[in-house]
Structure 1
Amino acid sequence: METWVRFNSQSQAKERLCRAAQYACTLLGYTLQRGGVGTDLLMTVKQLESHMSLTRKLMRLGNSAEALEAAKRAVHLSDSILRLCITVAHLNRAMYFACDNVLWAGKTGLLPKLDQNKWSQRSYRYYLFALILNLTRDAYEIALLMERESRSCSSAKASLSSTPVALTPENGDLPATPSSASGSASASPQPPLLLPVVPSLPALSQRLRRQLRLLAAVLRSNPPLLLDLLKNTCDVFIPLDRLGIYTTGNGFVGACGLASSVLSILTILHPWLKLKP
């Protein structure tokens, strides 16, 4: 109960619930349309989706200031790549929220002559660029963690292989005498010709499997990074579809929006799942 009270007291959590309901209506409308139901029920679902979208825009009034404050905090990060990605992503989110607020004013009749299609396309462009930067940040953090994990595994293997082994005449590990070394040198007067090594297909396949296992280990040990990657991947299909860059249809958009909303609600219910900074 305490978790639910804390969750319900946050306006962001209510906006996430409205977002989940909006995309659930999008998915439901697509399913009903494919099923050939009556137009009255379909229009009711679409009107509910429109009301949910308008309510979300009302809840996001003033979020531009919050995004700007987050960008100011991200400027002081020590890592230059993280600083660039996070700061510019927050600035694009601020512009996205500002365009969304203008669009809300047009939909409510406060700006009757507003070109809603133009402002909608503009807001989706800012949203898409912010998501691309978030995905870039996720890929960068994954690469850092994979490199760190690979170094730790290599150092562990090196420490195991550096265990001293006693040399005895029985196991034939005694070093060669100078006379035998000189004799072997005279037997091979010319060094062998070195040819370029071309990796075979099995070697490439083994390397790919090793990288995939390393990636799975990194994501398994970092749930916040995994959730952020899944959420951004789901969200990126929404502006791609709305801008006409990669059309997927209302059904896929509704499923992606509902999934990312559920993941966002999880990060609010359990703050340790939110990726920081």
Structure 2
Amino acid sequence: MSRVTNCIVVIFVSVLFSVISSDDPCRFESKEKGVIDISSLANKDGKAAFPDETPSVGSNFIYSYNPCKPFSEGDTCKNVAVCQVSKDKTLTFILGKQDSAKWNAGAGAGTNPTIEYTFELKHVTVELECTDSATAELLALGESPINNYKFRLQSKCACWNGCKAASGSGGGLSGGLVFIIILLVLAVVYIIGFAAYNKVRLQRSGLDVLPHRTFWVALPVYARDGVTYIFRRATGKGGLEYTVCLHCKQQLCVEHILQHNEELIRQAHVYCNQFNELTQQIESLSFEQEFTLAEEHLNIWMDKQMKQLNEIYQQRLFELTETHLTINKNLAHFKQTQRNRLEDIEQRLINSKSNKQISIEQLHQLKTIVEQLQEELHQFQIDHFKNDRYLDYDNTQNSRLNADAKPFEYVPKKEQSNSFSSVQPDDFPNRLFDGCAFVTPIHQMSNSKISLDEIIRFTSRTAGRDKIYRTIQYASRFLAWYYIKKRGVVNGELFQNVESMMSLTRKGMRLGRFVDYVKNVLESFHIRNKRIGTLFGLIAVCQGLFMFFDNILLLHRFKILHLTNAQRFQQYLYQVWLLWVSCALTRDYYEIQASFHIGQYHQKQDKSLMRQANLFWANKPLVIDTIKNLCDLYIPLSNLNVVRANPGLQGFAGTVSSLLGLLQLWDKSYQLSS
């Protein structure tokens, strides 16, 4: 249960931090300068406090703004903070929403505070200018550069400590409601966590899986006895002078009951001491010494086998070198002999060509000589490259490892085959380079066929469709950024609509899925590696909370559930997402360290950086999972404004991570094992 407790503490601290650090669109407080409260400037009837503001520079659009509270205008601007409207009032565009408000106190003296709103690729900055006028005024400064809009709000409420909060203003949850929500969440976690612990670890069933069932069942009885005792003592009626003794089951006075209770307490102390002794014996029980000794024996055995294997390798290398020298010597002698014969034949041919005549006997002689040369060349090749006498490594008495070696027994794979290679001796010269590690997977990939049944089976799964939709969503975000920001295409809203549609589809598919991750938390208890098991449990809790907050925001979006400050829940979601990806990267780090440890054990003298890089690159599932998590890490960091947000980089990182996740889901061999 320590893993679940750690997970609960981390999540509770994260939620508490987000509650404290979230921005309020109505009020901003600075320790050095004071408080700015603009809630009194807002219209609470759903209309803009500053409607139809025309920029000072010529423009085809007018702008509406309502501080603190959302408003609606036209067909598109629903529950927004800033809206862009065409002069003929036929088109409306969302520029920012209240839940995206970010305050900036100013760089120093002489600089005004600002409020920033964002919506997709659009960014709005409202500069707050302090004036003595009782009437607030909004100045639209225009759009520069593209998708960046600037306004200046002049009011006495823009001054530090200029206005007090209006009655009923200030969005967000009250302290009591936050306490009740946290209490309910802790109660649910308490019941589910201890029930899972009793079910999995203690193997309980039925009502026994409930946490501390005996205490909660006896609690009403204790409460009744306490109330009865207080009531009778207050009224002076007595009635508790005689009661049933728990020791002898007789009705005795209070004095005898106290004496008998002391006897029961003494016996309970004896059992407690015995219980403590048994607890110490159980805690001290360990087989680490036996496993350490077995590991030492295994290392000694491996060193012996490696030495024997090295001796066999040196012997075979020496034989191969000797064979090479012998073949080269015979080849040189063969070439010299045949060269002399060819020079003699060439001289005959030159003489015949100069005389311009040749007899039939001479032609027959030339034909016979050519056939003899071909036969000798063929025979030489057979004798030196196809014969087993030079390249015969199937000496089972010398090349095989000791069959009596412990703790393993060597068993050859095939009869008449080499103990160290699957290549037959006769094929050794022709298959010298067949051992390249990258040939087999490339060959398998080139010959693999994706059937229609596999595609249908993959797309029928919810996880498969989610990965496909996620890839399309982030690819659309990248294309929208490229065409609008880089190429200046005005009608690039097609990709934005595709992204919004894919995002909404995925949110609908995730509705209610946070319950599924309870099973993942339970499965993490069965992982022997406590460190990896803790990370798996923490990742599952983060995934469940991510799905829970996502479902709450979806219900709020369709007005099924009303949230006074949806931005806080959005911050909770991003923070849980960041913790989720951080735990996944921590798991990847432990896997990398484990691979380095195994590689250094087999090659103790090679601990270079290049060797470690080769070990990491050889583990394809680990490489894919690490790159995927690094790409996913940028998205919550940018949404939390820890790093600078760039929609193009978000789209690119999300597309890469989605494709890698799609590959892992399609082929299980690219997934990290548990």
Shorter-chain-normalised TM-score: which range? Answer: 0.7 to 0.9
Two-structure CA RMSD over aligned residues (Å):
1.7
Which of 565, 569, 574 is 1:115 aligned to?
565
Separation in 1, partners of 2:563, 2:546? 20
Deviation at 1:222, TM superposition (A): 1.7
Change (3 A) 1:125 1:263: same
Structure 2 letter corresponding to 1:122: Y
Deviations 1:185-224 (A, max 9, x none): xxxxxxxxxxxxxxxxxxxxx97xx12x233222233211
Deviation at 1:4, TM superposition (A): 1.1
| Higher helix proportion (structure 1 or 2) | 1
Q: Is the 8 A contact 2:464 2:665 kept in 1?
A: yes
Separation in 1, partners of 2:517, 2:611? 34
Partner of 1:174: none
Indicate whether 1:239 and 2:633 are aligned: no
Q: Is the 8 A contact 2:535 2:583 kept in 1?
A: yes
Deviation at 1:42, TM superposition (A): 2.7
Deviation at 1:112, TM superposition (A): 4.3
Partner of 1:23: 474
Separation in 2, partners of 1:86, 1:113? 32
Which of 246, 258, 262 is 2:659 aligned to?
262
Partner of 1:181: none
Which range moved further: 21-30 or 104-113? 104-113
Partner of 1:197: none
Partner of 1:98: 548
Separation in 2, partners of 1:72, 1:127? 21
Separation in 2, partners of 1:10, 1:92? 23
Deviations 1:68-87 (A, max 9, x none): 21121012211121111111
Q: Is the 8 A contact 1:106 1:114 kept in 2?
A: no
Runs of at least 5 residues in structure 1 that lack an aligned partner in the other structure: 158-205
Deviation at 1:57, TM superposition (A): 0.7
Partner of 1:149: 599
Which fold has the larger relative contact order, with Cα–Cα distance below 8 Å and residues 6 or more apart in sequence?
1
Deviations 1:131-164 (A, max 9, x none): 001000100110011011101112xx6xxxxxxx
Structure 1 letter corresponding to 2:657: S
Separation in 2, partners of 1:270, 1:255? 23
Deviation at 1:60, TM superposition (A): 1.2
Indicate whether 1:129 and 2:579 are aligned: yes
Partner of 2:616: 219
Larger radius of gyration: 2
Partner of 2:271: none
Separation in 1, partners of 2:615, 2:566? 43
> Could you say what secondary structure the match of 1:75 adopts?
helix
Deviations 1:216-267 (A, max 9, x none): 2222332111111111010000000001111240000000000000011101
Which of 20, 34, 37 is 2:489 aligned to?
37
Separation in 2, partners of 1:259, 1:55? 20
Separation in 2, partners of 1:214, 1:88? 32
Separation in 2, partners of 1:116, 1:54? 17
Separation in 2, partners of 1:93, 1:144? 26
**Segments of 4+ in structure 1 off by > 4 A?**
none
Separation in 2, partners of 1:274, 1:108? 37
Runs of at least 5 residues in structure 2 that lack an aligned partner in the other structure: 1-450
Count of residues in Structure 1 that have an aligned counterpart in Structure 2: 222
Query: TM-score, normalised to structure 2's length?
Result: 0.32
> Could you say what secondary structure the match of 1:81 adopts?
helix
> Could you say what secondary structure the match of 1:109 adopts?
coil
Query: TM-score, normalised to structure 1's length?
Result: 0.76
